[in-house]
């Protein structure tokens, strides 16, 4: 097997995406000076979402759970790169992340009535982790 097989490249992509999502989620825990593109009327408002009653679970900001998700995804991606047999665990973890992202999107759209663009970027990164983790697992 080549040192850089398709599955290893996909696991590397998973690690890079996880590393990219982590600082974004950390920032969303307690953002200051939100970028202007985050506030586009009532439809797109990071502040409305982050300040809503739905932004915490048991007193913990949901973004903290996102940061923890990215930490685990990064660790599993690195473990897969080290050729430990964690590919299925990474795919399973990624499925949980995608399901969580869909739940959060539902809350944003139907309960809060506003979408956080930064949150959506974090959700998309999580979806990317799922996609490349699934490909890596299938290719291995």
- Whether 36 is in a domain gets the answer yes
pTM: 0.94
Tell me which residue range forms the domain holding 113: 6-139
Kindly report the CATH number assigned to the domain that includes residue 39: 1.20.1440.130
Residue 44 forms part of a structural domain:
yes
Domain contains 1: no
Report how far residue 42's alpha carbon sits from residue 87's, in angstroms, rounded to the nearest whole number.
Answer: 41
Tally of domains within the chain: 1
Sequence-ordered list of residues with C-beta below 8 angstroms from that of 137, at least 6 positions apart, any chain? 7, 87, 88, 90, 91
DSSP state, 45?
A: E
Among residues 26, 12, 28, the alpha carbon closest in space to that of 128 is found at 12
Domain membership of residue 128 (yes or no) is yes
pLDDT digits (tens, 9 = 90+) for 59-106: 999 999 999 999 999 999 999 999 899 999 999 999 999 999 999 999
**For 83, phi and psi rounded to 5 degrees?**
65, 25
Largest CA distance in the chain: 53
Extract the tokens encoding 46: 């990071």
């Amino acid at each position: 097997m080549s040192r850089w097989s398709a599955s290893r490249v996909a696991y590397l992509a998973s690690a890079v995406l996880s590393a990219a999502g982590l600082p974004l989620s950390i920032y969303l825990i307690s953002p200051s000076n939100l970028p202007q593109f985050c506030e586009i009327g009532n439809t797109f408002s990071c502040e409305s979402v982050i300040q809503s009653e739905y932004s915490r679970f048991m007193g913990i900001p949901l973004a903290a759970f996102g940061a923890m998700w990215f930490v685990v995804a990064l660790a599993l991606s690195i473990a897969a790169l080290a050729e430990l047999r964690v590919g299925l665990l990474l795919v399973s973890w990624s499925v949980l992340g995608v399901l969580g992202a869909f739940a959060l999107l539902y809350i944003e759209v139907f309960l809060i009535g506003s979408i956080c663009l930064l949150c959506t970027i974090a959700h998309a990164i999580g979806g990317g982790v799922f996609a490349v983790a699934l490909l890596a697992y299938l290719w291995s």
